[in-house]
Amino acid sequence: MMTSRSLSMALLLGVLVSAAQAADEAERPPNIVVFLADDLGWGDLGCYGHPMIETPNLDQFAEQGVRFTQCYSACGVCSPSRSAILTGRTPYRNGVFRWIPEGHPVHLRPSEITIARLLKDQGYETAHVGKWHLNGMFNSPEQPQPSDHGFDYWFATQNNAAPTHKNPENFVRNGEPVGPMEGFSAVLVAEEGIEWLREHRNPDAPFYLQVWTHEPHLPIESDPRFMARYEDQTDNPGVLQHHGNVTQLDHAFGMLMAELDRQGLTDSTIVFFTSDNGPEGDGLGDPANPNSQRNRNQGSTGGLRGRKRDDFEGGIRVPGIVRWPGQIEPGSVSNVPVIGSDIFSTICEIVGIPLPDDRVIDGVSMIPAFAGKPVERPVPLYWRTHISSPDSRIAMRVGDWKIVGNVDLTRFLLFNVEEDPRETTDLSAQEPERFKQMTEQLLELNASILGDGPDWWKSEKSF
């Protein structure tokens, strides 16, 4: 039988152990989650103003952190923007200048330093789940795989979930093909991340978890329970599929956030959410073929000009939300321009990792922007998309001003995107000095970047 003295000693011991654990948590660097959607448009979430799509989990997430109104992907297509998130370097500089078909020679080179590798060197547990799309020779010794870029654990596809988001057959886990799975891609990816958090990571170490879903990229296939939410608003099967697909993505995101809550990890974890580029197609679908995949191209740019593959705003401006309890004011909105490559530098600053000094790092820390303060950019915001509309092959933004060049760099447009985010009015004639200076600056920057990276792009007939 425990005496009052021994009971008091036990209670005191429990308090001391809890205090020690709390002190250990406080000293440990934060856990990090980077959640990336695929082809999600700037206007596709409820918290970004979509009048119809339901995204309750991401809307709640935005109320818990900061929502960026001018967040950009590093490219108008997927593989390049992903390479920039991992390396902090603009795509033509790091070599992944185009989307990568299966079997293609372009890949993220082993010479590139990824944030996963840097964090692993700092004692982080690292995992990637979902779409990879950073090599053509997927799961082959001919090119680097996720494990070669700093990931202890990986569960991935080369590009899209196949045959569709429903019951995919092409996932590979740590080099071993998984085979047919039952369920929908985003949910399966979230479940894999949850499984890793529960069973595979070392709970005594901080972690970096990268969750890259396939939704809402084609070929879209959505769970009927999510499509049912829109049946009283439309009879267009393409709208039902696309909008249900975004809600499916939102549901998967909510599953992961709930797991952080369940494990008591929310307060010690910074979570980034964004998209790899703007929405596919023209946004009108294909009414003549209502059940076709093309009719499922119903993503929204929120009224911005251009779409995926463009360097106009609709192709590169994307949702961007960050939650960091105790560091970011809940429910805040930041109008400071940030870009996917900034995630690398931001994480380095948070963890205390010096930026590599043997290469150009284009991204900067967005920590000031969390509070709406400007960031200093030694290298301007820059985009070059190897397959795009002829009028928007290259772009650069400095302050409120953005210059967009055509395919052969002979015609340029100048916009004040702060006052004219839809890029309706070319101001090159009204601002001749600014236009001349920015044209020269863009051409110089472009030449520098192309000269810095591998010249794989020279063999591409499309550019």
Q: Which of 50, 71, 75, 78 is catalytic?
A: 78
Whether 318 and 275 have beta carbons less than 8 Å apart is answered as yes
Long-range CB pairs of 173-176 (<8 Å, 24+ gap) are: 174/147, 175/139, 175/145, 175/147
Q: Is 133 one of the catalytic residues?
A: yes
Whether 382 and 308 have beta carbons less than 8 Å apart is answered as no
Q: Which of 50, 128, 133, 149 is catalytic?
A: 133
Q: Is 78 one of the catalytic residues?
A: yes
Three-class secondary structure assignment of the chain: CCCHHHHHHHHHHHHHHHHHHHHHHHHCCCEEEEEEECCCCCCCCHHHCCCCCCCHHHHHHHHHCEEEEEEECCCCCHHHHHHHHHHCCCHHHHCCCCCCCCCCCCECCCCCCCHHHHHHHCCCEEEEEEECCCECCCCCCCCCCHHHHCCCEEEEECCCCCCCCECCCCCEECCEECCCCCCEHHHHHHHHHHHHHHHHCCCCCCEEEEEECCCCCCCCCCCHHHHHHHCCCCCCHHHHHHHHHHHHHHHHHHHHHHHHHHCCCHHHEEEEEEECCCCCCCCCCCCCCCCCCHHHCCCCCCCCCCCCCCCCHHHHEEEEEEECCCCCCCCEEECCCEECCHHHHHHHHHHCCCCCCCCCCCCCCCHHHHCCCCCCCCCCEEEECCCCCCCCCEEEEECCEEEEECCCCCCEEEEECCCCCCCCCCCCCCCHHHHHHHHHHHHHHHHHHHHHCCHHHHHCCCC
Q: Supply the residues annotated as catalytic.
A: 78, 133
